[in-house]
Chain A
Amino acid sequence: MSDSGTAHAVEVTINGERYERTVLARQLLVHLLRDTLGLRGTHIGCDTGNCGACTIICDGKLIKSCMMLAVQADGAEIETVEGLAADGELTTLQKAFNEHHGLQCGYCTPGILMSATYLLRHNPNPAEAEIRRAIRGNLCRCTGYVHIVESIRAAAASAAEEAAR
């Protein structure tokens, strides 16, 4: 059993890069990402785990990083929005959002991209109802979701086309 304490050493791998830090037990994972490690693409929009702006993928699972303690992520492999585009080359999903105007203020966008990434990994050809269900945990106050759904659908179609080639 690890020692009980208010501070703990944690080791996390984020977008393929390994970090070792000491965190307070009370620190939320989202604050480790933003404040300690300077990965500010993941955002905070509420106090109750409802808005999804903090969504990331942790050990392959889509989660809200404000609803997990940093210390609970010890040993985890984390993917955030910063890890999507390699060397500034936007992914098929990101390009689809740009082509279909899937973002306005951009604050919900990182969380939405992670939710869409997770969806398309598990369901490469989702119907509209499945897309909407997949982003149920991500609030957007700008787009009314219509172009977001369209962007994800288009990304799925593009990915299918690329795979067929």
Chain B
Amino acid sequence: MSGTPVTETTLERVEQSEHLGRWSGKSIPRKEDRRLLQGQGTFTDDGGHIHMGYAQFVRSPYAHARILSVDTARAEALDGVYATLTGAEVKELTAPFFQIAPEPGGKIAEYCLAVDKVRYQGDAVAVVLADSRETARDAAELVEVEYEPLPVVVDSIAAAAPDAPILHDEVGSNVVWHGVYDYGDVEWALQEADHVVKIDRLHFHRFSSTPLECNAAVVNWDPGTGIVEIFSNNQMPMFASLVIGPALGIPSNSLLFRSQDIGGAFGIKIGSYPQITALALLSRKAGRAAKWTEYRTDHMQSAGQGNERTFRNIEVPVMSDGTILGFKVEAFDDAGAYLHYEPLGAVIWSQVVPGCYKLKHIQVDFTETVSNKCPTIPNRGYSRLQHLWMIERVIDIVAHELGFDPVALRKTNYVQPEDYPYRTPNGCVYDSGDLPRALDMALAAIDYPSWRQRQQELGTGSGKRIGIGIGTTLDSGTNNFGQARIINPDLPFSGNGEAAYVKLDLYGEVNVNLGTTPQGQSHETTAAQVVADILGMSPDAVSVSVGFDARHNTYVAFSGTYASQFAVTGLGAAMGAAEKLRAEIIKVAAYALGAEEEEIELNDGSAYVRGDEERAIPFIGIANLVYSNVAALAPEIADSVSLNCRHVYRPPFEIPDTETKTGNLTLTYASQTHACVLELDEDTGAVEILDYAVADDCGRVINPSIVTGQVHGATAHGIGAALWETFEYDEDGQLQQSSFYDYHAVTALDVPHIKTSHLESPSPFTPNGAKGMGEGGGAPLHAICSALQDALGEGAPVVAESHNHWERIYRLLHPESGALRGVEVRSR
């Protein structure tokens, strides 16, 4: 039994900008498109440096081995090779990477190349730099590495066992974090319940969003200035700087990150900081820039994969009227061989402790281990989708076992529209929403009653089955980084923020810089929309700098693009900066026009006196007064305006309580409700998607077309993961899917037409009523598993895996006689 939170978090409704409306809310076509449609985007491999070299990493074929020797002589002798770098050198030159985990996990000594041991197939042991891609590739094969293979562990629960092979000797165990999250009184609830549904095991698999563009970087350690220039597609450059700086022993302002166009990232491109560190050393050693363009095979093996989580011994107390009191579960998260951003996954899920439901009594015993697999990275939906999937499976299985209608059971237990803002058992606040209506919309879009009828008419014996599934999910956005302290109380992290800069340039042009690293989320367009609204002009006249550049000095520690937050943090910052600029323009205009500030309006690039439009001054005139004609401006005004306005949007967070593991961990909660219809072939287990609908609620929508596009993309990723996309390792730690030949990324023939509808429950806590969205929350996984369970019918085994390829579905349809179903009900 846990106590109530020590601090009560108060969240005030935020005053929302009165200026949004002319452009915000419209599906204006994108500014990004002109260059991208003509092949004029600048992606990282398009960039370079004079006299640069091309880098190729040498990677371990073994999942676990001692490195006995690394000999680069033959590689260096190859004509055209500039330099090589090995783990032994790196150990001398750098400090191990900063670790988020508390001890003993925090004792992991990870360097940018493997030192002494390799711990997963694909672990980099050396890197070569050469005059061409081909030479680098050939030279990498000439690096001779002697390995002594060690026993391999590829399962999280096995890794936690006392006799497991240990990956990091300095830690002495494979358990890098353990904690119990305890809210309400689950033991009481289990006693009190009319039924307890016990589910043996649910398993959420490894997969990745596999962005079409792989990681890449051009790194130049300038010998003259000592500055390390990094042109890359890393999506969280400030986090990377925080980690790389101390490793290289250089100040953070010696790392200058820049990115331009990025070909998708989905969280995977958070993880390139080790390679960038190695490239920096290589560049310094070789005296020239180092360019690295990751091959797809390397990407699959080593860029990063999503969290794999095993849930076991799940107990669910349920009342006869369908009220679900909560649940108790053991969770094992597999972080892979190194902790890149982990073990934050062990707390991030708690942004959505009860899922979409009013569950009050919840206990999660959470263990995170390392294993001889690719390191985990925050793949789209990071840590929440695993937890939300588990909860949706629970709802679904409870409905099946106890005979509740799946729609009614959800509506009984949903957080209701009148409950918002809703405080969850661990102190998070769900800002707004209307889940029952969203469910109705999704079901209406597929004409649910009609499919139920067809399902009945189909009956048995045709060789086909129809399954109808529901998946409700949350996309929590704008993190409070203070939740890291729940993992490790010594971490000096909390809150969040994003920076933006809006200015009038010399001739009055409006320019916006952002601290974000967009990878397709249309930041240039949506930022232009809100700035255009605030400054009273067309978005076409608002110029937004492409990509991220540290030289713009528009960043904070959390800058980047990840975690479903741009509409709140990025646009919040842009709006704040635009409001500041608006105020300055009005101040100068009032002076120039001899009017009161309250009388000034802005329209179409001009400031004028309301009711007397002849009295006007264009922005070029405002700029002139401040820049080149400043003696013509009153001194007190000249001293107080610059037309260069920077704003950091800071969401109102407090530091969570690490004792009780409570606090307000995320600012906004978008929701998606998915309904799908599957047809199963009984003879083979193969599945076809017959109908698919999504109802999306991300609060106030700035650009509907862009939001819909994000919903489609997240849906496609989820469908892919549910039926086709998986990373599996054999018992020797060999990855079975290291190319698109084996890893079936979904095509236009696999993803069905997605019917999308929207509702808008504005967030009271954001400056524009919008909620972050984009990750999606993995609802296709929930909905497809639900549809499979529906097709399997009564008495079938539970759908316990998040990934269901044809054979697995076949086995569910045709279980061995006497096989366990994986679920048991104990009733009063």
A and B touch in the complex (CB under 8 A): yes
Binding site for B on A (CB under 8 A): 24, 26-27, 31, 34-35, 39-48, 50-51, 53, 80-82, 84-85, 88, 90, 94, 97-101, 103-110, 113, 128, 131-133, 135-149
B264 interfacial contact with A, CB 8 Å = yes
| Known A-B contacts A45-B212, A141-B264, A144-B715; A135 and B748 likewise in contact (beta carbons under 8 Å) | yes
Which residue of A27, A105, A145 is within 8 Å of B262 (Cβ)?
Answer: A105
Determine if B513 is an interface residue (Cβ-Cβ < 8 Å).
no
Chain B residues within 8 Å of A47, by CB:
295-297, 739
Assuming A43-B213, A48-B739, A141-B210, is B713 touching A90 (CB within 8 A)?
no
Q: Across the interface, do B520 and A48 meet the contact criterion of CB distance under 8 Å?
A: no
Interface string of B740-767 (1 = CB under 8 A from A): 1100010111010110100000000000
Question: How many Å from the CB of A61 to the closest CB on chain B?
Answer: 20
User: B522–A104 contact, CB under 8 A?
Assistant: yes
Binding site for A on B (CB under 8 A): 27, 29-30, 32-43, 45-46, 133-134, 209-214, 261-264, 266, 293, 295-297, 519-522, 705-706, 708-710, 712-717, 739-741, 745, 747-749, 751, 753-754, 756
The answer to whether residues A101 and B263 also contact, given A41-B38, A132-B748, A132-B749 and a CB cut-off of 8 A, is no
Closest beta carbon of chain A to B749's beta carbon, Å: 5
Assess the A42–B39 pair: CB atoms within 8 A: yes
Contact check, B37 vs A98: say whether CB atoms are below 8 A apart: yes
Q: Are A51 and B213 in contact (CB under 8 A)?
A: no
CB within 8 A of A97: which of B37, B209, B749? B37
Judging by beta carbons under 8 Å apart, are A113 and B134 in contact?
A: no
Contact partner, A101, options B30, B211, B296, B715, Cβ 8 Å: B30
The minimal Cβ–Cβ distance linking A67 to chain B, given in whole angstroms, is 12
Q: How far does the Cβ of A117 sit from chain B's closest Cβ, in whole Å?
A: 12
Contact A104 B34 (CB under 8 A): no
Known: A82-B38, A103-B37, A109-B36. A133 touches B705 (CB 8 A): no
* Separation of A100 and B713 alpha carbons in the complex (Å): 15
Q: How far is the CB of B47 from chain A (nearest CB, A)?
A: 10
- Chain B residues positioned under 8 Å from A39 (CB to CB): 39
| 17 sampled A-B residue pairs with Cβ under 8 A | A43-B212, A44-B293, A45-B213, A45-B296, A51-B296, A98-B33, A101-B705, A104-B713, A106-B263, A107-B212, A109-B39, A136-B748, A139-B747, A141-B210, A143-B716, A144-B709, A146-B712
Question: What is the minimal beta-carbon distance from B587 to any residue of chain A, in angstroms?
Answer: 38
Quote the shortest CB–CB distance from A89 to chain B (angstroms): 10
Interface contact A106-B36, CB-CB below 8 Å? yes
Bound Cα distance A44, B519 (Å): 16
**Chain B proximity of A65: nearest CB distance (Å):** 13
Are B39 and A80 in touch, CB under 8 angstroms? yes
A84 nearest CB across to chain B (Å)? 7
Complex contact A144–B754 (CB within 8 A): yes
* Inter-chain contacts of A44 with B (CB < 8 A): 45, 293
What chain B residues lie within 8 Å of A105 (beta carbons)?
A: 211-213, 261-264, 519-520
Report the separation of the CA atoms of residues A128 and B520 in the bound assembly, to the nearest whole angstrom. 25
CB distance from B784 to the nearest CB of A (A): 15
Other than the given A41-B38, A90-B38, A97-B37, 16 more pairs (CB < 8 A) read A40-B39, A40-B46, A48-B740, A82-B39, A94-B37, A101-B27, A101-B709, A106-B261, A107-B211, A107-B264, A135-B747, A139-B212, A139-B745, A139-B747, A148-B748, A149-B753
B32, A143: Cβ atoms under 8 Å? no
B263 in contact with A43 (CB, 8 Å): yes
B29 and A142: CB pair below 8 A? Answer: no
B213 and A107 contact, CB distance less than 8 A: yes
Q: Report the minimum CB–CB distance from A53 to chain B (whole Å).
A: 6
Query: Is the pair B30, A142 in contact by a Cβ cutoff of 8 Å?
Result: no
Asked if A141 contacts B748 (CB within 8 A), the reply is no
Chain B residue nearest to A115 (CB atoms) is B748
Q: Give the docked Cα–Cα distance between A98 and B709 (Å).
A: 13
B residues near A108, Cβ cutoff 8 Å? 212, 263
Query: Contact between B521 and A104 (Cβ–Cβ < 8 Å)?
Result: yes
Smallest CB separation, B494 vs chain A (Å): 32
- Once bound together, how far apart are the Cα atoms of A104 and B40, in whole Å? 14
Q: Is the CB of B753 within 8 A of A128?
A: yes
Question: Which chain B residues lie closer than 8 Å to A131 at the CB level?
Answer: 748
Complex Cα gap A143–B90 (Å): 41
Would B46 and A101 count as touching, CB distance under 8 A?
no
CB-defined contacts of A100 to chain B, threshold 8 Å: 705
Q: How far is the CA of A81 from the CA of B41 in the complex (A)?
A: 12
Whether A144 contacts B712 in the complex (CB less than 8 A), given A46-B740, A94-B37, comes out as yes
B48: nearest residue on chain A (CB-CB)?
A35
Question: With A85-B37, A98-B30, A103-B36 in contact, is A50–B739 under 8 Å at CB?
Answer: yes
Expressed in whole angstroms, the minimum distance between the Cβ of A21 and any Cβ of chain B is: 15
Tell whether A149 pairs with B748 under 8 Å between CB atoms, given A101-B709, A107-B213, A141-B713.
yes
What residue in chain A is nearest B47 (Cβ atoms)?
A: A40
Instruction: Please report the C-alpha to C-alpha distance between residue A106 and residue B43 in the assembled complex, in whole angstroms.
Output: 10
Contact B709 A90, beta carbon cutoff 8 Å: no
From residue A16, how far is it (CB to closest CB) to chain B in Å?
A: 16
Could you say which residues of chain A place their CB within 8 Å of the CB of B520?
A: 103-106, 142
A37 CB → nearest B CB, Å: 13
B754 CB, nearest partner CB in chain A, Å = 5
Q: What is the bound-complex CA distance between A145 and B295, given in angstroms? A: 24
Name the residue in B45, B214, B709, B710 with the highest tally of chain A Cβ atoms < 10 Å from its Cβ.
B709
What 10 A-B pairs have minimum CB-CB distances, sorted nearest first?
Answer: A41-B39, A107-B263, A106-B36, A105-B520, A104-B520, A144-B716, A144-B712, A50-B740, A81-B39, A46-B296
Distance of A129 Cα from B693 Cα, bound (Å): 19
The distance from the CB of B178 to the nearest CB of chain A, in whole angstroms, is 35
The distance in angstroms between the C-alpha atoms of A48 and B744, with both chains bound, is 12
Whether B713 and A143, one on each chain, are in contact in the complex, defined by CB atoms closer than 8 angstroms, is yes
Which single residue of chain A is at the shortest CB-CB distance from B297?
A: A47
Contact check, A136 vs B749: say whether CB atoms are below 8 A apart. Answer: yes
Assuming the contacts A45-B212, A136-B747, asked whether A110 and B262 have C-beta atoms less than 8 A apart, the reply is no
Residues of B near A136 (CB, < 8 A) are: 747-749
Inside 8 A of A107's CB, which chain B residues have their CB?
Answer: 41, 43, 211-213, 261, 263-264
